[in-house]
């Protein structure tokens, strides 16, 4: 194993960690020595991934979390610090948005999308970044979307929230550096659960340089790069993992 990807002794927290890209990152981090907090709305799904992590000989803590609820973030972070004493890596991965024509977006839907994709991640990242800066430092990875960089129809609130997440990454990196490194993965189309609603053609082809959507496991090396000493001089960056979107 390349020592640059060695996460031995680290504690990693992954929101939206029970499926899709989050699950892939959780298992990859565990395989390289990290203990993992798996958080999502459904505790049963978190417990399933926690069992997989323990099979790698690492500790796992499954926690239910509404990643868009500002009021939950402080108690969530405190629970982890109380039980494990530290957070070395935080991955703000939870996020989603239904495809809705802009003129049909309700205020309730708008708020839900912005809360989940920006408000909640901001609150959690800022709380954890402060604690990291006061201790030995740490790493925060925000998972964004190519929709923040490439215009998408029927997803204006989502694209706007992810663009805000990108800006947040740069700002927080300046605010909490040098001890805390904060970066974004700008993810393109991936064959996660959301792709079940796509057409057959969309699951096979994509409007990017590689001409296809990504397999969930293809997020792993980008995440490992940002979570490990391999990226020691990288912070405030938007790292695209999207197959070459326009």
Catalytic residues, by residue number, are: 158
CA–centroid distance for 232 within its chain: 19
Concatenating the DSSP letter of every residue in 121-155 gives: HHHHHHHHHHHHHHTT-EEEEEEEEGGGTS--TT-
What are the two backbone dihedrals, phi and then psi, of residue 120, each rounded to the nearest 5 degrees?
-60, -50
Q: How many whole angstroms separate alpha carbon 48 and alpha carbon 53?
A: 9
DSSP 8-state code for residue 245 = B
* Cβ contact 182:129 at 8 Å: yes
* Cβ contact 206:188 at 8 Å: yes
In the block, tokens 């909490």 appear at 176
Q: Which residues of 9-31 are buried (b: 16+ CB within 10 A; e: fewer)?
A: ebbbbbbbbbbbbbbbbbbbbbb
């Amino acid at each position: 194993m390349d020592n640059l990807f060695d996460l031995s002794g680290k504690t990693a927290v992954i929101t939206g960690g029970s499926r899709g890209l989050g699950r892939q990152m959780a298992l990859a981090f565990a395989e390289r020595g990290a203990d993992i907090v798996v958080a999502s709305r459904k505790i049963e799904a978190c417990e399933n991934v926690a069992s997989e992590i323990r099979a790698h000989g690492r500790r796992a803590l499954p926690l239910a979390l509404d990643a868009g609820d500002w009021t939950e973030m402080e108690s969530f972070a405190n629970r982890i610090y109380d039980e494990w004493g530290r957070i070395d890596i935080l991955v703000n991965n939870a996020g989603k948005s239904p495809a809705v024509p802009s003129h049909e977006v309700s205020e309730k839907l708008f708020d839900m999308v912005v809360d989940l994709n920006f408000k909640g991640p901001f609150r959690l990242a800022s709380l954890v970044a402060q604690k990291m800066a006061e201790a030995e430092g740490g790493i925060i990875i925000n998972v964004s979307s190519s929709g923040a960089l490439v215009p998408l129809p029927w997803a204006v609130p989502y694209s706007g929230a992810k663009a805000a997440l990108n800006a947040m990454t740069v700002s927080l990196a300046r605010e909490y550096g040098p001890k805390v490194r904060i970066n974004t993965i700008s993810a393109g189309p991936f064959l996660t659960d959301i792709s079940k609603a796509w057409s057959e053609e969309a699951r096979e082809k994509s409007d990017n340089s590689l001409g296809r959507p990504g397999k969930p496991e293809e997020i792993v090396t980008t995440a490992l790069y940002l979570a490990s000493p391999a990226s020691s001089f990288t912070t405030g960056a938007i790292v695209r993992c999207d197959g070459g979107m326009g």
